Amino acid sequence: MKLPRRQLLHLAAAAALPVVSRIARAQAYPTRPVRIIVGFPPGGGSDILVRLMSQWLSERLNQAFIVENRPGAGGNIGTEAVVRAPADGYTLLLDGGWNAVNATLYDKLSFNFIRDIAPVAGIMRTSNVVVVHPSFPAKTIPEFIAHARTNPGRISMASPGIGTVAHMSGELFKMMTGVNMVHLPYRGDAPALTDLISGQVQVMFSNTVSSIEHIRAGRLRALAATTATRSDALPDVATVGEFVPGYEASVWWGFGAPKNAPKEIIDKLNQEINAGPSGLENQDSAC
């Protein structure tokens, strides 16, 4: 059946309307403040990084990007809050390596990270660094291993929480060296580093973003970086792999959104984040 020209034009316009509407929505986005959920307390590496990115996005998109800390359960509480949020682009998640780890550690999560969180953009990948209190007797990784072996179970290893990349980096070190350290999980980087600086715990596999200023100020001593190559921020610090062949660990951060968030908005955020603050494309330059 041949349709009249006017009816054909009406049908074409109706088909194009949703596309035009989505494009217009993306162009106008954001029209109100956007929340960025962080699953850890203020003051740690995740918090430092996300506040830098929120400032950048606020300036670029002329709307407030507000950081909201939801600590607990190794980042799972914050992740679940985003999973349950409206899929409209106004709630984002700071995600990272802990999300991948938690999928294997927790049997009864109420969400599936890969299924329920839409990837928006990667932000940064960096090294962890093995840090100790300045009074600790070891100044190198071989000295640390020797000290740990002669003092089994007497060294306390702090982490931001069970399942965090810092925790997994330490467990990998224990497995590959055969040393026995006691893991003490905290509710984030900041409280763990506070106890390390005060001498309440002896070692931490901290991300470089959190610990760099404490290292430079002499409050902590860096023994080694955990990545395969030396950190740009700490070029004089050896890697663990120089003494423990095959050892490698790194931490990454990114942004996610609830599944079914509008693709046009995700694409817009991806473009702005990838244009991000100068230096974030290099693994340690944000330090």
pLDDT by residue (tens digit) across 101-111?
Answer: 998 888 889 99
Q: How far apart are CA 57 and CA 273, in angstroms?
A: 7
**Per-residue pLDDT at 16:** 53
Place of tokens 């049997």: 107
Q: How far apart are CA 46 and CA 53, in angstroms?
A: 11
**b or e along 266-275 (b: 16 or more beta carbons within 10 Å of the residue's beta carbon)?**
bebbeeebee
Low-confidence ranges of the chain (pLDDT < 70): 1-26, 278-287
**Per-residue pLDDT at 11:** 59
**Per-residue pLDDT at 91:** 98
Q: Can you tell me whether residue 269 is helix, strand or coil?
A: helix
Place of tokens 């925790």: 167
